[in-house]
Chain A
Amino acid sequence: MAMAEGHKSNAGRYVIVYICILAIAFLQFVIAYSNITAPQMFARMLFLAAVEAALALLFFMHLSDNHGLLWFVVVFTVFVLLAMQYGWTDSFRELLGAPWSSYSTS
């Protein structure tokens, strides 16, 4: 491939990351059929999804090349995600009044 001056193709690296992401996605499908509890399944799948997302962010979206932007994105996103956890305890109270819910405290 004729490259423009100063440009180096990263196709090899992209293909390796692509294969890794596909392999992790395959693992998620395997976990879906494994004989474990729903919370265990949730935790494992969420962990693998986070790894997939990290690979995509670092290598597909090139955050590995810009540490300042990487920290900006990570700190902001983690803060938002942590702040959302505040609602967990309240979610059960909200469900009591939700339409069509058969949730009951008795």
Chain B
Amino acid sequence: MSHADAMGGPAGVMEKPAFSVPAKKMAMWLFIIADTATFAGCLVAYGFLRNATPDWPRPFHSITNVALMTFILVTSSLTMLFAIDAAKAGEKAKALQWTLITAGAGALFALLHIREWLGLIGEGMTLLKNPWGTGLFGAAFFSITGLHLLHVTGGVIALVAVGIRYQGGRYNADDLEITGLYWHFVDLVWMFVVPLVYLLNLSH
């Protein structure tokens, strides 16, 4: 059977999807590629500043919080995969349950992140100045982690919305998988943010 026939249209009318990926999933991949460039631009710009500023601050005394945040985010990727697996198996209740667990983990990550921000602000760090060294640090730190936090918050909202609509029958397992792609991307970005922004700025 040709692809056009499989899609229910007349032969020769339907164009074969790029890389055999459905259009909605391809759109998400294109978004992810574009967003990768955004984050890469931020991290490379941060690298420029970090590399060439002699009094770059090292304000982080402990890795406990960032380690916990990393564990939560990586684990949420696994729970997202369980949700997709359950959705593809036709187990709607289980899929929604895992999706909401993923969203809950994302919300917990965001809360820990905000708590960390408040701690740093309490120590006198703002976008423009901090007590430890160059004022560029605050701008770089809040910009990169803020952009990531914005993605996490958006992801949590999307997970809840898509999960509920999947349960209601408006969305299907593919839609859940596409949301999952976004969530894994958020996790993937964090894998680069942690070493570059946190671990390289530990005070020994």
- By beta carbon, the residue of chain B nearest A45 is B195
Beta-carbon contact of B89 and A53 below 8 Å: no
**B89 and A7 within 8 A (CB):** yes
Q: How many whole Å from B120's CB to the nearest CB in chain A?
A: 17
Contacting pair B33 A32 (CB below 8 A)? no
Return the CB mask of A51-78 against B: 1 if under 8 Å, else 0: 0110011001100001011001100110
CB-CB under 8 A from A28, the residues of chain B are 194-195, 199
Consensus secondary structure, chain B interface: helix
B10 at the interface (CB under 8 A from A): no
Query: How many angstroms from the CA of A69 to the CA of B27 in the assembled complex?
Result: 12
Kindly state whether residue B144 has any CB partner on chain A within 8 Å. no
Query: Is B54 a contact partner of A32 (Cβ separation < 8 A)?
Result: no
- Take A4-B89, A72-B19, A91-B51 as given contacts and tell me if A29 and B36 are in contact as well, using a CB distance cutoff of 8 Å: no
Q: Which residues from chain B sit less than 8 Å from chain A, CB to CB?
A: 19-21, 29, 32-33, 36-37, 40-41, 44, 48-49, 51-55, 63, 67, 70-71, 74-75, 77-78, 81-82, 85-86, 88-91, 128-129, 134-136, 181, 184-185, 187-188, 191-192, 194-196, 199-200, 202, 204
Extra 15 A-B pairs, beta carbons < 8 Å, given A7-B89, A21-B74, A87-B48: A2-B91, A3-B90, A9-B85, A25-B191, A25-B194, A32-B200, A45-B200, A56-B191, A57-B188, A60-B81, A68-B20, A85-B44, A91-B48, A95-B48, A100-B129
- By a beta-carbon cutoff of 8 Å, the part of chain A in contact with chain B is 1-4, 7, 9-11, 14-15, 18, 21-22, 25, 28-29, 31-33, 38, 41-42, 45-46, 48-49, 52-53, 56-57, 60-61, 66, 68-69, 72-73, 76-77, 80-81, 84-85, 87-88, 91-92, 94-95, 98-103
